[in-house]
Amino acid sequence: MNRCEWCGKNSSGYGMVVLTIKEDEPSQSICEDCYNRYMADILGVEDYKDYEKEATFTDCDGIEHRFQIRKKIHPTGICWEAVEFTGVDKIGYSFEVHQDFEEDSNYALKRLYKKIRKGLSQKFIKREVFQGHELISFKGNIVEGRIEWDDRYDDRTPKFIIDGQEYSLEEFGRIMMSCEGWNFRLEIIEPTE
Ligand SMILES: [Zn+2]
């Protein structure tokens, strides 16, 4: 837990923003609400608050996922996020959309919901039990997911979040071995795309 230096509210590390107002002054650690209020003020935009802060969606296997809906106001627009917390500062599914200031926030939220539904409508990894062993493989030729830092190792080791579940580099490599000898194409996609 982190305490906001402006309002004193406790927040998870994920929801904190480090703000540097003047270069020669120490930066401050503040909560998302204080950050958004501050940004809305200096940018002269609305700090839209009239939305559901939580939403539950069901994936293609009938499993429910509970998302926290949050926003961050940036100088270039608003970033809307739907984050599924699966543990303390541990994130499963995560979806983002960008809203321009001219766009209505309700439309941006509709796009976010659509993106969540689409994201949950298919899975990329198949788990089967074969002669007592669990076999994990890719369902098809395409795998989509998120690259995160694996804090169990040094700062150079990634982990992968696929179907809202974590796979270490080693686990991911093992799944890749089911395609040994094949070629692959890697495409990096911005989270708001
Ligand atoms: Zn605060």
pLDDT at 1: 66
**Whole-number average pLDDT of the chain:** 93
CA distance 29 to 6: 8
Q: Which residues surround ligand 1, an ion (CB under 5 A)?
A: 4, 6-7, 9, 31, 34
Q: Are 81 and 170 members of one domain?
A: no
Distance 79 CA to ligand 1 centre (A): 18
**CA atoms of 119 and 95, how far apart (whole Å):** 8
d(CA 28, CA 37): 15
How far does the centroid of ligand 1 lie from the alpha carbon of residue 15, in Å? 10
- Ligand 1 centre from 71 Cα, in Å? 14
pLDDT digits (tens, 9 = 90+) for 42-56: 999 999 999 999 999
> Do both 106 and 22 map to the same domain?
yes
Residues with Cβ within 8 Å of 99's Cβ and at least 6 positions away in sequence, in order, are 77, 78, 79, 80, 105, 107, 108
* 66 and 19 within one domain: yes
Whether 23 has a pLDDT exceeding 90, the answer reads no
pLDDT digits (tens, 9 = 90+) for 83-136: 999 987 789 999 999 999 999 999 999 999 999 999 999 999 999 998 998 889
Query: How far is CA 110 from its chain centroid?
Result: 17
86 CA → ligand 1 middle, Å: 24
Domain end residue (candidates: 104, 120, 136): 120
Q: Which domain holds residue 70?
A: 2-120
Q: Are residues 71 and 148 in the same domain?
A: no
Structural tokens at position 19:
């703000």
pLDDT in tens, 71-84: 999 999 999 999 99
